[in-house]
A and B are shown apart, each in its own frame.
Chain A
Amino acid sequence: MWQAIALTLQLATLTTLILVAAGVPLAWWLARSRSWWVEPVAALVALPVVLPPTVLGFYLLVAMGPNGPLAPLLQMFGMRTLAFSFEGLLIGSVIYSLPFMVQPVRNAFQLIGDAPLEAAATLRASPLDAFFSVVAPLARGGILSGAILSFAHTVGEFGVVLMIGGNIPGETKTLSITIFDYVETMQWGAAHALSAGMLVFSFVVILLTMLIAKRTGTPQP
């Protein structure tokens, strides 16, 4: 049980770090660009919200396998498949939680508008400087909400992990899979303990994002 909790936290932390690094620039581009591509890309990013995790998991399973498009790349690293590995789960989790990071951050960026950036430019701030000293502080609520939601969403991830994980203790056997196993094997006591923990955790996360939204004045995701 503790191994599953540790593994899940590790997966969620790494997923969140990757999503902050990749999701913030992506959200910036989606918020600022006037390219024709913005809406199609935004729709693509939002897909995991509506797609059943089984669809995503199934495609990942096929894509990560030895007959999939990633196979030549994997062979260079001496791997046959990304399924049944922590790395595979990490890729799945990043894709699965991407909209939960990008959406709130994009909203926050859009709310800032042009004025603060124009002011920064008149003060001769470089675009990068303007981003870190003007945009990031103004959008901190959105970034924080996105990070917390991504983390929580990954902790609660089930379908994708089920489809590509292979239930390997310490590698791919996460919390939600452990709960599923307990229910399957009629160990309801243990299932209750973990489920109640998840319930409280989820409540705290949602409450936290709402409080952040209230304090920073960003719209709720």
Chain B
Amino acid sequence: MITLRMKCRSLLPAALCVGLLALAPASGHAGKVSVAVAANFTAAAQEIADGFHAKTGHTAGLSFGASGQLYTQITQGAPFDILLSADTIRPKKAEDEGWAVADTRFTYAIGKLVLWSARPGFIDEDGAVLRRGGFTHIAIANPASAPYGAAAIESLKALGLYESAAPKIAQGESIAQTFQFIASGNAELGFVALSQLTGQAAGSRWTVPENLYTPILQDAVLLMTGAGNEAAIAFFAFLKSPQAAGIIRRHGYGTSPGK
């Protein structure tokens, strides 16, 4: 393994290495993989890390943050092996700029948008509350940096309600903060990720029809640091397994067809 890893670092094309390392028999000793995880995927990632550890013996260290922050850290040499982004842009950019291993990108989760209020009964079946008004603040994530925020704006526009809602918008920097604005009651309602509401029966919600917004694809990519790391390759493979897909779906995400 050590020789293979060294060759990987120096001689072989990265993509080939990934293949070789994946084929190499598990060498018995437990490795470590460092994963940068978009904040919205926190709960699911923890469960996946547990499953991964039980199955392979490797340990996954998770670092959570906004995708943009994580990306900035990666470009400044942060020692992450894998990036689980909340979008497709940053993994692509990481690949283009040589921070990630080519042709390793894939969609690990598809986000679902929900209109949510902490108040029971405030949101009715088809989100008619948006049309009716009767609220002073509607919370969304920053559309410039958070995909769920962009999806919220798209949905409001598709419903023809953006103009009336715009003056009432309060922006959270992340989807987690948006959730906090609504949970604390400061905003009567807002757009959050379905994954944030798993295990949270309180309040009222409306799952926004998926034809109202561009699918929120969350891509993963293997970073250069992880190219020679056996545990990283194993984590990447585990992320694509039916077991991981099951965890991901249970947390309120869709997964790519065929998985």
Query: Is B68 in contact with A166, judged by CB distance below 8 angstroms?
Result: no
Query: Is B177 in contact with A163, judged by CB distance below 8 angstroms?
Result: yes
Query: Is A184 in contact with B186, judged by CB distance below 8 angstroms?
Result: no
Interface centre among B169, B172, B185, by most chain A C-beta atoms within 10 angstroms, is B185
- Interface bits A172-186 vs B (CB < 8 Å: 1, else 0): 000001001101111
Query: With A and B bound together, what is the CA distance between A181 and B185 in angstroms?
Result: 25
Contacts of B181 in A (CB 8 A): 61, 83, 166
Interface residue A67 (Cβ < 8 Å from any Cβ of B) = yes
Known contacts: A162-B173, A166-B171, A166-B172. The answer to whether A181 contacts B186 by CB under 8 A is no
Contacts of B256 in A (CB 8 A): none
Query: With A and B bound together, what is the CA distance between A27 and B6 in angstroms?
Result: 64
Query: Is A83 in contact with B186, judged by CB distance below 8 angstroms?
Result: yes
Known contacts: A66-B186, A83-B181, A184-B68. The answer to whether A168 contacts B171 by CB under 8 A is yes
Query: With A and B bound together, what is the CA distance between A167 and B137 in angstroms?
Result: 13
Query: Is B72 in contact with A183, judged by CB distance below 8 angstroms?
Result: yes
Query: With A and B bound together, what is the CA distance between A163 and B170 in angstroms?
Result: 11
Query: With A and B bound together, what is the CA distance between A65 and B170 in angstroms?
Result: 14
Known contacts: A166-B137, A181-B145, A184-B69. The answer to whether A84 contacts B170 by CB under 8 A is yes
Query: With A and B bound together, what is the CA distance between A181 and B173 in angstroms?
Result: 8
Query: Is B144 in contact with A184, judged by CB distance below 8 angstroms?
Result: yes
**A-B Cβ contacts below 8 A, count:** 70
Interface residue B136 (Cβ < 8 Å from any Cβ of A) = yes
Query: With A and B bound together, what is the CA distance between A168 and B170 in angstroms?
Result: 6
Known contacts: A168-B170, A184-B144, A184-B173. The answer to whether A65 contacts B68 by CB under 8 A is no
- Interface bits A142-186 vs B (CB < 8 Å: 1, else 0): 000000000000000000001100111000000001001101111
Query: With A and B bound together, what is the CA distance between A23 and B217 in angstroms?
Result: 51
CB distance from A164 to the nearest CB of B (A): 8
Query: With A and B bound together, what is the CA distance between A168 and B172 in angstroms?
Result: 10
CB distance from B167 to the nearest CB of A (A): 9
Contacts of B172 in A (CB 8 A): 166-167
Which residue on B lies nearest to A164, using beta carbons? B186
Size of B's binding interface in residues, CB under 8 A: 25
Query: With A and B bound together, what is the CA distance between A89 and B161 in angstroms?
Result: 29
Query: Is B173 in contact with A84, judged by CB distance below 8 angstroms?
Result: no
- Interface bits B182-204 vs A (CB < 8 Å: 1, else 0): 00111110000000000000000
CB distance from B188 to the nearest CB of A (A): 8
Query: Is B144 in contact with A185, judged by CB distance below 8 angstroms?
Result: yes
Contacts of A184 in B (CB 8 A): 66, 68-69, 142, 144-145, 173
Which residue on B lies nearest to A67, using beta carbons? B185
Contacts of A24 in B (CB 8 A): none
Contacts of A186 in B (CB 8 A): 68, 71, 93
Interface residue B88 (Cβ < 8 Å from any Cβ of A) = no
Interface residue B180 (Cβ < 8 Å from any Cβ of A) = yes
Query: Is B142 in contact with A81, judged by CB distance below 8 angstroms?
Result: no
Contacts of A81 in B (CB 8 A): 136-137, 185-186
Contacts of A62 in B (CB 8 A): 184
Interface residue B139 (Cβ < 8 Å from any Cβ of A) = yes
Query: Is B142 in contact with A181, judged by CB distance below 8 angstroms?
Result: yes
Query: Is B139 in contact with A166, judged by CB distance below 8 angstroms?
Result: yes
- Interface bits A184-215 vs B (CB < 8 Å: 1, else 0): 11100000000000000000000000000000
Query: Is A65 in contact with B142, judged by CB distance below 8 angstroms?
Result: no
Within 8 A of A (CB), among B138-181: 139, 142, 144-145, 169-173, 177, 180-181
Known interface pairs A61-B181, A80-B186, A184-B144; 13 further A-B residue pairs with C-beta atoms within 8 A, sorted by A's residue number: A61-B184, A66-B186, A67-B184, A67-B185, A83-B186, A162-B173, A162-B177, A166-B139, A166-B170, A166-B172, A184-B66, A184-B142, A186-B68
A interface list, Cβ under 8 A from B: 58, 61-62, 64-67, 80-81, 83-84, 162-163, 166-168, 177, 180-181, 183-186
The 6 closest A-B pairs by CB, nearest first: A166-B170, A167-B171, A184-B68, A184-B145, A83-B186, A84-B170
